[in-house]
Amino acid sequence: MLRAILRTGSFLLMASMLYTGCTTQATGRFYGKTEAPKNNVLRYISGSEPESLDPPVATGQPEARVMMALYDALVEYHPKTMDPMPAIAESWEIGAGGTEYVFYLRKNATFSNGDPITAHDFVYSFRRAVSPELAALNGYLGFYIKYAEPYNAGEMFVRDRDGRFLLKSDVEEKAASPADVPVADMGYPTEFHKYIDSPDRLTVPRSEKARNELFAGNAKLKAAVEGKELVPIKGEDIGLEAIDNYTFRIKLKQPAPYFIGLLGHQLFRVVHRPTIEKFGKAWTKPENIVTSGAFLLKEHRPYDRVVTVKNPNYWDAEMVRLNGIEFYPLDEATTMMNLYKAGSADAIYNHTVPAAWNDVIRQYKDEYLNHPEVAIEYYTINVKKPPMNNVKVRQAFALAIDREALAKFRKTTTPLVDFTPEGIFPKYEQARTKVYTEELKKKGMTMEQWKARAFDPAKARQLLTEAGFPVQQNGTSFAAPSFPISDVELLYNTAESNKAIAEFIQAQWKQNLGITVPLKNMEWKTFLTYRKKLEYSGVARAGWVGDYMDPFSFLYLFYGEKNDSSTGWFDPKYDRMLDEANRELDEMKRFEKLALAEFMMIQEQPVVPLQTQATNWIKKPYVKGLYPNPGTLHAWKFVYIEPDPNKWDRDVDNIMKVSDPWVDQHIARLMTTQETFNAQKKA
Amino acid sequence: MLSFALRRLLIIIPMALLVVSVTWVLIRLAPGNFYEGEKTLPPAIEENIRKKYGLDKPWYQQYFLMLSNVVRGDFGDSLKYQGETVNDIIKRHLPYSATIGALAYLVALIVGLSAGIIAALRQNSSFDYGSMATAMLGLSVPNFVLGPIFVLVFALGLYWLPPARWGGISNLILPVLTLAAIYMAYLARLTRAGMLEVMRSDYIRTARAKGLSETDVLLKHGIRGGIIPVVSFTGPALAGLLAGTVVVERVFAIPGLGNIFIQAVLNRDEPLILGIVAFLSILIMIFNLIVDISYGYLDPRIRYE
């Protein structure tokens, strides 16, 4: 009894303290202790402990942030827009129907030990990133490079007795080759280029078992390959070439206009070959490591800190203003907020302000950054199981959610009706509006009617009735007694925020359709397997973050029969539409084709789009040049600490519009090389 | 006595192997694996990874390979943190947990024992009631509540102490106190109960009858018998404390073993899970053995054959 009383008492004590902690008005102008660090070192909370300091091995966003300080790339993300900006590549050109990229490297770039960075280093780094020996999880990002995928899979070329390699076109009716597009030669004729630019060679699996499986379904292929010599694909065979020390060429297997936007990813950051070959796995230890970025690794204490200092040998060292960055690998939201408030951290990564704190934190207008993000949240639908195999049922569930109310409830997000995030790709959205208006006209609909999809309960009930599950009205409430409720569930991975959203949606469906969908939660890895194998019935929570700044990064989710959508939805027509779009060289025309594909897919409603995520993080006002860009990936050389309070950031809702002369001047300076190059080419 | 200790020591090895085997089966039964994420990996990449980590071999081969590695004390490389051996990770992170744990237990012992003894000697006094009520509060407030309250008051309210992270002595105070609270409370109550029982026993009466001073009675006879429950509690408690405590390490962002263990499970980092489980089980068995041996010294009536 006494124990129970004490327990209740302690709970009340805690609740009251949390209450006072969370609901007080913003008393000072700033949240907690706000003093610019005198040593000019930024203290940044970067998320979970990096898996590795070897860039292609490290998979996630928390790693990306650390890698961006330590390693440089051909291009760097623009601090505000994340568009590619010249880094080690001064300029580049894209040709051969979007399948060839030539990069012109600056001659003064060096590794941290003083060795020059040349095109050969990029050839080495990229080959290593997609090599089967490294087995990098992110290796697939490099699969656009010609023969990188079969190289990674350990596949073989097929050579006949005369030394001629078999081509894809020898065994296929019509090779799906970009050679259909008339291409202009980019110059630099080399032996290697002659080889890599020739029609696609045939590749077959290395293991006999896999080969036999393949042959079993393809007699023509079997006949063509039998008795021929199999030649393993080597790193030297993939579409990477150092034309000279400072000219680097990439050949892609198909046009991929977004590929340039991927090259800032850590998979493509340049590493130092002699160090890796000398130390093997231990090369990333602070005593061995050689890096290429604006900062050097000084100390790494796992789960506690990654300490970096300014690299005096960095090619753009003159611009770097911070003396160093200390990354704190933490992922406990409350702990990081505490550190921030106590003045022990200057900035935190994205999605970190807990929902319960949001009302307090958002009052700090000079610190709280909530901007649209290249990330969405949605529910997948298992289209393979009834009743969700009926498109009308799927549409009914999608229409019966008040997305405005959801956004208000979540406080940080914005409603999402289509699949690509809102407010991130303005040019694409423009193209999409055009395409949708035309397509809707054919159906006798207007854009306004389309936008009503954000919440249209009457239509939802009508669709559900049409699907054979009549919705009855009893006073103000609804009921759908014939709906097989035991065949659906709402699955989510265990987390407070996911639960809150699930309960909200459950209530919406109850209120608007009269259906109470049972909730079910699972631990992350268990959930992933369950969802991926389509073992769930009904709907499951999902989120997606774009790998690069292009709508294709989202639309690709439904591409191919074994796609990543976890819905079971697949349509070869959709795949063809995307392929065709990517072959289009004109940006706006390409976007229109992509939009057409999106329009087709979303009408099939394999997913229930919910919201575009927002950045939701905080930084101290004296930290400048750190912007809430759509991926929360920061080019650290633009970041500095401003000791003068008069120059601190104010009202950061407008931070993207307000000019910081120093940042802008350096962006302009870095862009010059590429702009001059383009201008000269035009002339 | 010696043969008893030897026998117990020898049992530790098969016991640890059994624990590791059960853990291995549990990991294998759990859905998901270390490399799977939101994105489905292309088959080529998945195959490379499975080959790299020997997951393409039949399960019994994998099991015996794992077992033979464990017998040699080599748990291999972490799957998540590439290029790091499990032994290195344990060696590196144990000192953080051990420091916090040992300090917390020291504080708990000093405060808990004194409070318990005094309370027993002055049974039914206001000190007795006061200290036992406080102990009850200590037992009832879980450390995930106590920790944040300490932070709220001392780090964010008064700005006296840092709210989290490893660093100087000031960083140790809050986590050590948070961790010590519940043990302090346990020890105080155990000591009080033990002392009350012992002080009423016949041999204490005999000691008093012999004319020993009350201090001698207490120090030479009373405490020795009275703290036996405390000693039995200490074994597993200390083993658990030294090896890391998840909640306190997460709240205070201490890079200790408890924190690593939780991450390892969430990441399905099999070698790391097995390494920590084996280490923990051996630690607990050794501490239990020490406790059992120390009984014999504290209470002459307990003897091992």
Per-residue DSSP letters for A128-185? HHT-TTTT-GGGGGGTTBTTHHHHHTT-EEEE-TTSPBPBHHHHSSS---GGGS----
Confidence bin at A21 (pLDDT 50/70/90): very low
Contact check, Cβ <8 Å, A564/B82: no
Fold of the domain spanning A27-85+269-371+622-682: D-Maltodextrin-Binding Protein; domain 2 (3.40.190)
Does residue A94 register a pLDDT over 50? yes
Q: Are A248 and A91 in contact (CB under 8 A)?
A: no
Nearest residue to A399 (alpha-carbon basis) of A609, A579, A220, A584? A609
Q: Establish if B30 touches chain A: CB-CB under 8 angstroms.
A: yes
Minimal C-alpha gap between B238 and chain A (Å):
24
The pLDDT of residue A175 is above 70: no
CB A282: neighbour CB atoms within 10 A?
13
Please, which pLDDT band fits residue A339 given cuts at 50, 70 and 90?
very high
Residue A386 has pLDDT above 60, yes or no: yes
If you average pLDDT over every residue of chain A, what do you get?
90
In the predicted model, is pLDDT for residue A547 greater than 50?
yes
Q: CB-CB: which of B30, B42, B52 is closest to A526?
A: B30
Task: Give the model's confidence band at A459: pLDDT under 50 very low, under 70 low, under 90 confident, else very high.
Answer: very high
Closest residue in A to B89 (Cα) is A302
Asked if B26 is an interface residue toward chain A (Cβ–Cβ < 8 A), one would say no
b/e burial code for range A398-432 (CB count within 10 A of at least 16 → b): bbbbbbeebbeebebbbbbbbbbbbebbeebbebb
**Inter-chain touch B263–A48, beta carbons under 8 Å:** yes
Q: Does residue A489 come out as left (phi exceeding 0), alpha (psi in the -120 to 50 range) or beta?
A: beta
Distance CA A552, CA A563 (A): 14
Q: What is the DSSP string of A549-590?
A: SSTHHHHGGG-STT-TTSS----HHHHHHHHHHHH--SHHHH
Q: Measured between beta carbons, which residues in chain B are less than 8 angstroms from residue A151?
A: none
The tokens of B95 are what?
Answer: 């000192």
In B182-211, the residues whose Cβ lies within 8 Å of chain A are: none
Average pLDDT, stretch A138-146?
Answer: 92
Contact B111, B185 (CB under 8 A): no
CA closest to B154 among chain A residues:
A342
Please tell me which of the candidates A52, A137, A282 has its beta carbon nearest to residue B35: A137
Query: Which residues in chain B show pLDDT less than 70?
Result: 244, 303-305
Residues A422, A429: contact at Cβ < 8 Å? yes
Q: Inter-chain contact B81–A524, Cβ cutoff 8 Å?
A: no
Best residue in A23, A279, A283, A335 to probe B by mutation, most B CBs within 10 Å? A335
Checking if the pLDDT of A14 tops 80, the result is no
Query: Which of A301-310, A427-436, A575-584, B75-84 is predicted least confidently?
Result: B75-84
pLDDT at B37: 76
Q: How far apart are CA A200 and CA A192, in angstroms?
A: 14
Determine, for residues A139 and B38 on separate chains, whether the beta-carbon distance falls below 8 Å.
no
Q: Do B89 and A302 touch (CB under 8 A)?
A: yes
Strands (E), A265-329: 295-301, 305-310, 324-328
Closest in B39, B156, B268 to A338, CB measured: B156
User: How far is A363 from chain B, CA to nearest CA, in Å?
Assistant: 18
Question: For residue A20, is pLDDT > 50?
Answer: no
Whether pLDDT at A231 is above 80:
yes
Question: Does pLDDT of A169 surpass 90?
Answer: no
Percent of chain A clearing pLDDT 70 (strictly above): 94
Nearest to A528 among B38, B47, B164 (CB): B38
Range with the lowest mean pLDDT among A388-392, A593-597, B6-10?
B6-10
pLDDT at A173: 64
- Residue B243, SS3 per DSSP: coil
Domain extents for chain A? 27-85+269-371+622-682, 88-258, 373-614
Flag the least confident range among A89-93, A125-129, A224-228, A246-250: A224-228
> Which residue, among A284, A338, A544, A564, would best test binding to B if mutated, counting the most B CBs under 10 Å from its CB?
A338
Find chain B residues with C-beta within 8 A of A135's C-beta: 45, 48-49, 51-52
- Cβ-defined contact of A17 to B36 (cutoff 8 Å): no
**Chain B hits for A335, Cβ within 8 Å:** 163-164, 250-253
pLDDT of residue A456: 93
3-class SS of residue A610: strand
pLDDT of the residue at A2: 42
* Shortest distance, CA B100 to any CA of chain A (angstroms): 15
Of A140, A150, A530, the CB nearest to B45: A140
Region A373-614: CATH code: 3.10.105.10
The residue count of chain A comes to 683
Q: Tell me, what's the pLDDT at B217?
A: 87
At residue A184, the pLDDT reads 58
Q: How many CB pairs under 8 A join A and B?
A: 159
Tokens at A100, concatenated: 């060839």
Q: What is the 3-state secondary structure (H, E, C) of A463-515?
A: HHHHCCCCCEEECCEEECCCCCHHHCEEEEECCHHHHHHHHHHHHHHHHHHCC
Contact: A6, B140; criterion CB under 8 Å: yes
What three-state secondary structure class fits A68?
helix
Question: B202: which residues sit within 8 A by CB, 6+ positions away?
Answer: none
Q: Which residue of B has its CA nearest to A6?
A: B137
pLDDT of residue A19: 42
Q: What's the confidence (pLDDT) of residue A643? A: 95
Judge whether B92 is closer than 8 Å to chain A, CB to CB.
yes
B36, B49, B156: residue with CB nearest A528: B36
Q: Cβ-count burial of B196 within 10 angstroms (0-12 exposed, 13-18 middle, 19+ buried)?
A: middle
CB contact under 8 A, A344 and B162: yes
- For B:118-177, CB contacts with A below 8 A are 136-137, 139-141, 145, 148-149, 151-152, 155-156, 159, 162-166
Of the candidates A2, A17, A342, which has its C-beta nearest B149's C-beta?
A17
> Is a pLDDT exceeding 60 seen at residue A440?
yes
Tell me the pLDDT band of A323, cut-offs 50, 70 and 90. Answer: very high
Residue B14 is encoded by which pair of tokens? 């098969």
**A525/B32 CB distance under 8 A:** yes
Task: Please tell me the predicted confidence (pLDDT) of residue A40.
Answer: 95
Task: Please give, rounded to a whole number of angstroms, the shortest distance from the CA of B12 to a CA of chain A.
Answer: 31
Of residues A137, A152, A335, nearest to B251 (C-beta): A335
Task: Please give the domain boundaries of chain B with CATH numbers for all domains.
Answer: 101-267 (1.10.3720.10)
CATH label, A88-258, candidates 3.90.76.10, 3.30.70.20, 3.40.50.10380, 3.40.50.720: 3.90.76.10
User: Is the Cβ pair A525, B33 closer than 8 Å?
Assistant: yes
Q: Where is average pLDDT lowest: A43-47, A51-55, A302-306, B283-287?
A: B283-287
pLDDT band at A17 (very low <50, low <70, confident <90, very high): very low
The least confident of A116-125, A489-498, B48-57, B83-92 is B48-57
Tokens 């009205």 identify what position? A473
> What is the distance, to the nearest Å, from the Cα of residue A180 to the centroid of all Cα atoms in its chain?
30
Between strands A41-45 and A347-348, the pairing is parallel
| Three-state DSSP state, A327 | strand
Q: Is residue A499 scored above 60 in pLDDT?
A: yes
Mutate to test the interface with A, among B26, B29, B38, B143 (most CBs of A within 10 A): B38
DSSP-derived letter for residue A201 is B
pLDDT at A4: 47
What pLDDT does residue A379 have? 97
pLDDT at A288: 95
pLDDT band (50, 70, 90) for residue A26? very low
Alpha helices per DSSP H over A142-294: 148-152, 168-171, 191-197, 208-216, 219-225, 259-262, 273-279
Going by their DSSP bridges, the two strands A324-328 and A41-45 should be labelled as parallel
Which among A556, A441, A501, A541 has a CA at the least distance from the CA of A140?
A: A556
- Residue from B47, B153, B248, B276 to probe the interface with A (highest A Cβ count within 10 Å): B47
How much is the pLDDT for A185? 66
Instruction: Say how far apart CA A624 and CA A620 lie, in whole Å.
Output: 9
Q: What is residue A214's predicted lDDT score, i.e. its pLDDT?
A: 86
Q: Which residue has the higher pLDDT, A528 or A379?
A: A379
Beta bridge partners of A201: A167
CA–CA gap between residue A290 and residue A278 (Å, rounded) = 11
